[in-house]
Structure 1
Amino acid sequence: MLLRLPESVSEAQECMAEGAVPVGGATLVWAGWQRDGFPEQAMSLRNVPEATVIAPGTLGGAVVLNRIDERVPEVLREAAASVGTGAVRRTATVGGNLVGSTLRCLLPAALVLDARATVLEPEGARETDLAEVLAKQHLLLSLHWSDPVTSAYRKLAGEAGGPPPFVVAGAVHRGPDGHHRLRLAVRDGYEVLAGAAVCDAGPEEALTALRDTAVGTLNDDHWEVVRRHATDLLARPAVR
């Protein structure tokens, strides 16, 4: 297998056009390749600046998880820190986790940030939403968002060999009209649910509104986790 390391978006386009398979951090594809056979060409974006950027409001798809730091919101930073072991976080990438993984630990955090994605295709780079990225398994070049007022992430303890642990992510955004809006997303099993509500009057008003969203379909135990998470988040000084 030939591993190609393009150093620009245009070089990456050429690799894709010539059939190179995106490899990410190889934490998810390697076992499958060992079983089914290796492709003739693979491609890593780790030398492409647009795919390795970490800056306010931007995170590259080829960034490995253990490099995510205070330059990104708390919710995304904590989500990355919760993935696997230290060894996994040193090789797994943002794009691999969001697009290639069935667990998608970063997805709830990206949803509450209302993130948009820049994807790379043989014809060039373009912006789209996360729903299209996941549905069409696009090659993620980078994520972009407007920083929230505050955010938080929580993953419950899981059982070895059991279902994926329950995850809740939340972020408060100030809209152009000056009103605060709470965005919440959860991972329940392998399903990710999201909802949003105005939260100027406090957590009870927001939680009542969230009951009418997909998040409101959770069982009582998980809804209680969401309630506590939202209440704690809206009690932060930055929101008052």
Structure 2
Amino acid sequence: MLLRLPRSVSEAQECLVEGAVPVGGATLVWATWLRDGFPEQALSLHDLPEANVVGREELGAAVVLHQVGDPAPEVLRRAAASVGTGAVRRAATVGGNLVGSTLRCLLPPALVLDARCTVLGPHGRYETDLSEVPAKRPLLLGLRWREPLVSGYRKLSGDAGGAPPLVVAAAVHAEDGGQHRLRVAARDGDEVLSGGTECVDGTEDVLGELWRTDVGALGAAARDVVREEVTGLLARLAGR
């Protein structure tokens, strides 16, 4: 297998056109390749500058999870720190988690940040929303978002080999006119539900509006966790 390490977006596009298979951190594809055979060419974004950025409002797809620290928002930092073991986090990448993983632990944080995706296809680079990433599995270059006022993340403990543990992510952004908007996303089993509402009244009113979104379809136990996270987040917002 030839591993290609492009140093520019144009070189990465050429690799795609020539049939190179994106490898990410190889934590997910290696076992499959050992079983089914290796591709002739693989593509890693390890040396691509645009895919290695960690900022307040952007994160590259080639960044390994243990590198997701300051200045990234709290919701992303805590999500990345919760994935697998230390050895996994030193190899697994942001792009691999969002595109290649079935668990996609970073998807709820990306949703509450209202992140946009920069992806690369055979015909060039373009921006799209998060829905295209799990559906079409493009080559992800990175994420961009607006910095939230406050954010939080909670992942419940789970049993090895059991159902994926509940994940709840939340963030509040400043809106035009001085308003604040709360976004919540939860992974419950294999399903990710998200919703948002304006923070115009007290906590119970905000939660009441939130239950009218897709988040309201969560079970009672999951909704209790959402309630705790939202209550804490709004308290932090009020204390700023």
Measured after TM superposition, the shift of residue 70 of structure 1 is: 1.2
Distance 2:230 2:202 in 1: 10
Decide whether the 8 Å contact of 1:79 with 1:106 is kept in 2. Answer: yes
Name 1:192's counterpart in structure 2: 192
Distance 1:33 1:177 in 2: 53
Name 1:35's counterpart in structure 2: 35
Name 1:168's counterpart in structure 2: 168
Name 2:65's counterpart in structure 1: 65
Q: How does 1:1-240 map to 2 (within 5 A)?
A: 1-237=1-237
> Which residue identity does 2:13 align to in structure 1?
Q
Measured after TM superposition, the shift of residue 12 of structure 1 is: 0.4
1:177 is paired with a residue of what secondary structure?
Answer: helix
User: Structure 2: any 5+ residue segments left out of the alignment?
Assistant: none
TM-score (norm 1): 0.98
Structural RMSD (CA): 1.0
Q: Which moved more, 1:76-85 or 1:203-212?
A: 203-212
Across the two proteins, how many residue pairs are aligned to each other?
Answer: 240
1:234 is paired with a residue of what secondary structure?
Answer: helix
Distance 1:113 1:39 in 2: 35
Decide whether the 8 Å contact of 1:112 with 1:184 is kept in 2. Answer: yes
> Which residue identity does 2:40 align to in structure 1?
E
The structure 1 segments of at least 4 consecutive aligned residues displaced by more than 6 Å after TM superposition are: none
Distance 1:74 1:217 in 2: 26
Decide whether the 8 Å contact of 2:149 with 2:237 is kept in 1. Answer: no
Distance 1:143 1:161 in 2: 30
TM-score (norm 2): 0.98
Measured after TM superposition, the shift of residue 206 of structure 1 is: 1.1
**Structure-2 change in CA distance of 1:230 and 1:50 (3 Å):** same
Decide whether the 8 Å contact of 1:172 with 1:183 is kept in 2. Answer: yes
Distance 1:229 1:107 in 2: 17
Measured after TM superposition, the shift of residue 200 of structure 1 is: 2.8
Distance 2:237 2:173 in 1: 14
The sequence identity of aligned pairs, in percent, is 66
